[in-house]
């Protein structure tokens, strides 16, 4: 095992909208932490995952063994939001004054907004609300940066990099690279590592 | 490649509960796996189906759960090791055969693995598999975490062969679909040789015919097996106790609820006051162990999902042993300390514990909770589930809905289980008016179709998917045809079990392991059964509606309309667009559209956006899948489509 955890378990929530690659992001992160010798438990909401619903992955990182796959109320240490208003939704149940939030700025509109029945808030408002409800927050243009790298999916790797950059988890570049090389070998590795580095820099 | 074979024995890997179950079966020398897809169980069969040929495991998605159990049982009769996997409601389908199988007994190790869905996160029921174990008198094991899921499966195979009886290993969503660290074990080298011995003495369990008769003899035998299981359960390594010798309260928990209980005790810092008894062998209960545990404390709290299964069984034991154990105070579902229905979580268990001990418990500072709630109420618009962009179901239901509305006789649709169940929601134009089990749309319709003489003069329509057609709708269709029910059955044929991730079914030409197999033609089957059959492409909206009107108006008896179009997410279709679509702002009537924004308010494909600023509809090219259907929806022809390159 590497570094001692600053608390046990460390609770991370990755949230987004079905189809954004939530499950893959939590898997990669979980694999990297397992490789470092930590015991990882991930709870996932499936089912709605491809049908426009809100999705969440709960990650518990521990030195002691398995924890509940559902984080208790008010128990999130870091919230990673692949979609900005999902951060807000998660904070209602799992937030606390000490929570840190990393949010992607790219919006995905719910059907109700698309059809004109609901309103989607202005990004400045979302930023201000999340800032008020957290001890530190970063809004990053991960999707835009990812498009420049070759596709929106790199955005999730950037968000993992940003999470690592917050220092909430004992995640280092070397382990991450080794896990990426094992799960997605080939030419994509360099781009993925670039995405990771961009992510780390985004919260610096 | 399958994730199941990565890594060496002794290595720790992150496994989904379903993968841990599959790996456990492999470490036990699994030969045959059969199941029917259903969340949260599907990944067990899927991960096994992806094994390379050399692994020597035969894996199939059977036509339904009953046949899956029959397939797995045959393997056991021939001396092989097998598993049968399904979601909770599937067990009802399999239960007729199960009842008789438990009477006849089994040979090679065989496990029944139902995955329940407390809270109905991806179901239309909260069914309990555990009650079946008691009902059909077989042993039941409920693993409490990921490592244990793997180990318990291995151990259950031994148990099954010791008893010559099928053993149930029950999982739930929060185990099956959660992931945790699992240390890998050795993979065995097992010689598998199948032979079915049937010429021995009629009562010989290993050499005679396999029957549940003579019933009284075999039923007694079955009870003996249960007694044996109970003895073996007394020393099961999966029942564990953690806590002080004499706790003020004993928590008895099962499955993932044990993790919630552990969390609750830790949150309240009550490790020194509360004992945690994690019970994995939930039927039959090991009475000596239970007596020892119940002896620890005067107060007992049960934490389990969904029904008070263990609670009630333990209470029977406690009543029998009251003479020696004394009177206990019980908390659980029956006294309302824990809610009777729905999914549990650490918060519910913590609140229960706090209440019993009279401790105040506020997980979030109240002002924080209030502030966050307010912001999210205005700032986080809800996300209704909807059919995917380019989904054939949206087009199909739009047509069914429009045809029935125009018909004006208050026709209705009897629904069925699949992605298309979402047609109970506005995204499916709230078209479905009954929704129950697999194949029941057509069965219920068959009944409605005979109510004409009693005055029912509404058109009766049923829907079912292609996988559902084979699973359970064929008997319903036979019934309707034979009894001359007057119904229209619409088969939403999207070439796969879309809901659960494109598992194959008998209508397709590839099986679970990718082998070429004969595909059964739904249209030919329905024709041979005697229905009037039509086939249409749901993306041809006017054509489909015309056929529907024709069938409803002019054809008596059973009509089958097959709406054939591949699922928008299917591997062969994903990312390919047939049309480039755009809204002509000159033609779009916007707010003054006579249809009151038919495209975005009613049709609601996520690819069609209502542009508030301009007061016009617009196509979002990133989301639009290019199906071209919306071009037929707009009454003024403002949505234009051209064939994509
Ligand atoms: S695109 Fe057609 S249906 Fe939609 S608002 Fe414009 S005119 Fe009405
Ligand atoms: S063509 Fe129209 S109906 Fe089809 S996906 Fe695009 S916006 Fe939706």
The CATH number given to whatever domain includes residue B179 is 3.40.50.970
B626 and B497 co-located in one domain: no
Q: What is the mean pLDDT of residues B514-527?
A: 93
The conformation of residue B248, written as its DSSP 8-state character, comes to S
Contact (CB, 8 A) for B431 and B413: yes
Q: What is the mean pLDDT of residues B90-95?
A: 96
Question: What is the structure's pLDDT at B501?
Answer: 62
Portion of chain B with pLDDT greater than 90, in percent:
81
Decide if B290 is inside a domain: yes
- Is residue B384 less than 8 Å (CB to CB) from chain A? yes
pLDDT band at A18 (very low <50, low <70, confident <90, very high): confident
- CA quadruple B390, B392, B395, B401: dihedral, nearest 10: -140
B440 and B483 co-located in one domain: yes
Domain that holds residue B52: 3-233
User: Is the per-residue pLDDT at A1 higher than 60?
Assistant: no
Query: Which residues are bridge partners to B277 per DSSP?
Result: B241, B252
pLDDT band at B575 (very low <50, low <70, confident <90, very high): low
B480 and B516 co-located in one domain: yes
User: Is the per-residue pLDDT at B75 higher than 70?
Assistant: yes
ipTM reported for the complex, 2 dp = 0.94
Lowest mean pLDDT of A1-15, B71-85, B250-264, B436-450, name the range: A1-15
CA B248, CA A68: separation in Å to the nearest integer? 23
Delineate the domains of chain A, giving CATH numbers in brackets.
10-203 (3.40.920.10)
Domains in chain B: how many in total? 4
At CA B370, angle to CA B365 and CA B374, rounded to 5? 150
Last residue in a domain, options B233, B249, B264: B233
B497 vs B141, which has greater pLDDT?
B141
Those residues whose C-beta lies under 8 Å from the C-beta of residue A198, and which sit 6 or more positions away, are A145, A149, A158, A161
Give the Å distances, CA to CA, from B128 to B92, B98, B133, B149. Answer: 10, 16, 10, 19
User: Is the per-residue pLDDT at B498 higher than 60?
Assistant: no
Lowest mean pLDDT of A139-148, B55-64, B586-595, name the range: B586-595
Decide if B385 is inside a domain: no
B194 and B261 co-located in one domain: no
A47 vs B99, which has greater pLDDT?
B99
CA B427, CA B423: separation in Å to the nearest integer? 7
The predicted-structure confidence for B108-150, as pLDDT tens digits, reads as follows: 999 999 999 999 888 889 999 999 999 999 999 999 999 999 9
CA B643, CA B619: separation in Å to the nearest integer? 16
pLDDT band at A19 (very low <50, low <70, confident <90, very high): confident
Nearest CA in chain A to B264: A72
Question: What is the structure's pLDDT at A144?
Answer: 87
Looking at every residue in chain B, the average pLDDT score rounds to 93
Q: What is the mean pLDDT of residues B534-561?
A: 96
B436, with CB counted inside 10 A (0-12, 13-18, 19+), is middle
Portion of chain A with pLDDT greater than 70, in percent:
96
B253 and B229 co-located in one domain: no
CA B153, CA B81: separation in Å to the nearest integer? 12
- Taking CB atoms and an 8 Å cutoff, what residues of chain A touch B178? 41-44, 69
Last residue in a domain, options B301, B333, B357: B357
**Which two tokens mark A170?**
């004992």
Q: What is the mean pLDDT of residues B89-112?
A: 97
A92 vs B408, which has greater pLDDT?
A92
User: Is the per-residue pLDDT at A49 higher than 60?
Assistant: no
Question: What is the structure's pLDDT at A46?
Answer: 60
B349 and B457 co-located in one domain: no
Q: What is the mean pLDDT of residues B239-258?
A: 97
B327 and B421 co-located in one domain: no
Question: What is the structure's pLDDT at B528?
Answer: 97
The predicted-structure confidence for B190-227, as pLDDT tens digits, reads as follows: 778 999 999 999 999 999 999 999 999 999 999 999 99
B509 and B590 co-located in one domain: no
Mutate-to-test residue for ligand 1 from B541, B590, B603, highest number of ligand atoms within 8 A of CB: B590
Q: Which residues of A15-52 are buried (b: 16+ CB within 10 A; e: fewer)?
A: bbbbebbbbebbbbbbbbbbbbebbbbbbbbbbbbbbb
Question: What is the structure's pLDDT at A51?
Answer: 67
- Is residue B75 less than 8 Å (CB to CB) from chain A? no
B485 and B600 co-located in one domain: no
Decide if B572 is inside a domain: no
**Which two tokens mark B434?**
């009954």
Cis before A95 (ω within 30): no
Question: What is the structure's pLDDT at A47?
Answer: 54
Decide if B476 is inside a domain: yes
Question: What is the structure's pLDDT at A48?
Answer: 54
Cis before B284 (ω within 30): yes
Contact (CB, 8 A) for A156 and A25: yes
Name the residue facing B365 among A46, A68, A97 (closest C-beta).
Answer: A97
Q: What is the mean pLDDT of residues B534-562?
A: 96
Can you point out the beta strands (E) in B139-217? Answer: 140-141, 167-169, 171-172, 179-183
Q: What is the mean pLDDT of residues B349-362?
A: 96
Decide if B344 is inside a domain: yes
User: Is the per-residue pLDDT at A2 higher than 70?
Assistant: no
Q: How far is A165 from chain B (nearest CA, A)?
A: 23
Decide if B368 is inside a domain: no
Q: Ligand 2 centroid vs B539 CA: distance in angstroms?
A: 10
The predicted-structure confidence for B416-454, as pLDDT tens digits, reads as follows: 998 888 899 888 899 999 999 999 999 999 999 999 999
CA B440, CA B423: separation in Å to the nearest integer? 16
- Look at B372 and A92 and tell me if their CB atoms are within 8 Å: yes
B321 and B187 co-located in one domain: no
CA B253, CA B301: separation in Å to the nearest integer? 8
Last residue in a domain, options B302, B332, B357: B357
Q: What is the mean pLDDT of residues B526-542?
A: 97
CATH code of residue B594: 3.30.70.20
**Which two tokens mark B355?**
């209440």
- Taking CB atoms and an 8 Å cutoff, what residues of chain A touch B179? 27, 30, 40-42, 44
Give the Å distances, CA to CA, from B87 to A76, B117, B127. Answer: 31, 8, 9
CA B598, CA B610: separation in Å to the nearest integer? 11
B440 and B548 co-located in one domain: yes
Cα B496 off chain centre by: 16
Question: What is the structure's pLDDT at B219?
Answer: 96
Q: Residue A10 is inside which H or E element, if any?
A: strand A10-17
pTM assigned to the model = 0.94
B263 and B228 co-located in one domain: no
Give the closest residue to A55 by CA, choosing from A76, A11, A98, A24: A24
Q: Ligand 1 centroid vs B597 CA: distance in angstroms?
A: 5
Q: Ligand 2 centroid vs B621 CA: distance in angstroms?
A: 9
CATH code of residue B319: 3.40.50.920
**Residue B37 C-beta-side C-alpha neighbours within 13 Å:** 22
């Amino acid at each position: 095992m590497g570094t001692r955890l600053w608390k046990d378990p460390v609770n991370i929530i990755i949230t987004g909208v079905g189809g954004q690659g939530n499950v893959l992001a939590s898997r990669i992160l979980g694999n990297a932490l397992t490789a470092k010798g930590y015991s990882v438990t991930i709870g996932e909401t499936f089912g709605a995952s491809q049908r426009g619903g809100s999705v969440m992955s709960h990650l518990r990182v521990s030195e002691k063994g398995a924890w509940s796959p559902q984080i208790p109320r008010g128990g999130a240490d870091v919230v990673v939001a692949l979609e900005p208003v999902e951060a807000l939704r998660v904070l209602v149940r799992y937030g606390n004054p000490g929570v840190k939030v990393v949010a992607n700025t790219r919006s995905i509109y719910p059907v109700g907004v698309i059809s004109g029945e609901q309103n989607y808030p202005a990004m400045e408002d979302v930023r201000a609300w999340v800032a008020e409800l957290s001890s530190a927050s970063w809004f990053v243009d991960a999707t835009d940066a990812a498009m420049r790298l070759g596709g929106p999916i790199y955005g999730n790797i950037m968000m993992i990099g940003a999470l690592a950059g917050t220092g909430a988890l004992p995640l280092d570049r070397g382990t991450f690279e080794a896990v990426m090389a094992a799960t997605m070998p080939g030419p994509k590795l360099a781009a993925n590592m670039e995405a990771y580095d961009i992510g780390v820099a985004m919260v610096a | 490649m399958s994730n199941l074979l990565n890594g060496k024995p002794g290595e720790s890997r992150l496994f989904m509960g379903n993968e841990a179950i599959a790996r456990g079966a492999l470490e036990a020398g699994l030969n045959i796996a059969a199941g029917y897809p259903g969340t949260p169980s599907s990944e067990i069969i899927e991960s096994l189906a992806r094994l390379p040929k050399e692994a020597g495991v035969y894996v199939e998605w059977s036509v339904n759960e009953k046949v899956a159990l029959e397939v797995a049982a045959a393997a056991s009769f021939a001396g092989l090791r097998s598993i049968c996997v399904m979601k909770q409601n599937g067990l009802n389908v399999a239960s007729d055969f199960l009842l008789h199988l438990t009477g006849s007994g089994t040979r090679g190790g065989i496990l029944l693995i139902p995955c329940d869905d407390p809270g109905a996160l991806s179901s239309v029921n909260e069914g309990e598999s555990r009650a079946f174990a008691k009902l059909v008198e077989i042993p039941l094991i409920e693993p409490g975490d990921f490592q244990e899921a793997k180990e318990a499966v291995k151990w259950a195979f031994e148990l099954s062969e010791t008893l010559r009886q099928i053993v149930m290993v029950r999982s739930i969503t929060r185990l099956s679909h959660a992931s945790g660290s699992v240390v890998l074990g050795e993979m065995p080298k097992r010689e598998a040789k199948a032979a079915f011995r049937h010429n021995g003495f009629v009562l010989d369990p290993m050499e005679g015919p396999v029957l549940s008769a003579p019933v009284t003899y075999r039923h007694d035998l079955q009870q003996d097996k249960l007694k044996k299981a109970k003895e073996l359960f007394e020393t099961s390594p999966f029942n564990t106790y953690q806590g002080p010798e004499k706790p003020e309260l004993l928590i008895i928990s099962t499955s993932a609820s044990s993790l919630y209980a552990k969390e609750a005790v830790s949150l309240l810092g009550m490790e020194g006051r509360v004992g945690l008894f994690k019970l994995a062998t939930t039927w039959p209960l090991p009475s000596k162990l239970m007596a020892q545990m119940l002896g620890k404390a005067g107060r007992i709290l049960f934490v389990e999902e969904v029904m008070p299964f263990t609670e009630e069984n333990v209470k029977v034991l406690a009543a029998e042993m009251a003479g020696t154990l004394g009177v206990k105070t019980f908390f659980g579902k029956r006294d309302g300390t824990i809610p009777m229905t729905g999914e549990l979580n650490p918060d519910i268990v913590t609140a229960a514990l706090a209440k019993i001990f009279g401790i105040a418990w506020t997980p979030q500072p109240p002002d924080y909770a209030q502030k966050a709630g307010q912001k999210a109420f205005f700032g986080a618009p809800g996300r209704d589930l909807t059919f995917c962009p380019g989904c054939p179901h949206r087009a199909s239901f739009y047509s069914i809905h429009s045809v029935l509305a125009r018909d004006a006789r208050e026709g209705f649709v009897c629904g069925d289980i699949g992605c298309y169940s979402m047609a109970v929601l506005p995204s499916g134009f709230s078209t479905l008016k009954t929704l129950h089990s697999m194949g029941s749309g057509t069965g219920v319709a068959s009944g409605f179709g005979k109510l004409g003489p009693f005055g029912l003069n509404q058109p009766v329509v049923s829907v079912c998917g292609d996988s559902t057609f084979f699973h359970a709708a064929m008997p319903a269709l036979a019934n309707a045809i034979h009894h001359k029910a007057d119904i229209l059955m619409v088969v939403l044929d999207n070439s796969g079990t879309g809901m659960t991730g494109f598992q194959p079914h008998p209508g397709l030409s590839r099986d679970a392991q990718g082998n070429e197999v004969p595909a059964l033609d739904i249209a030919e089957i329905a024709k041979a059964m005697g229905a009037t059959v039509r086939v249409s492409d749901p993306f041809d909206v006017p054509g489909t509606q015309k056929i529907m009107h024709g069938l409803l108006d002019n054809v008596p008896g059973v009509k089958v309309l097959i709406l054939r179009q591949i699922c928008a997410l299917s591997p062969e279709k994903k990312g390919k667009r047939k049309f480039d679509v755009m809204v002509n702002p000159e033609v779009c009537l916007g707010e003054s559209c006579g249809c009151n924004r038919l495209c975005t308010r009613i049709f609601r494909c996520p690819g069609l956006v209502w542009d508030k600023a301009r007061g016009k509809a617009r196509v979002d090219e990133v989301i639009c899948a290019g199906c071209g259907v919306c071009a037929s929806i707009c009454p003024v022809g403002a949505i234009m489509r051209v064939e994509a390159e």
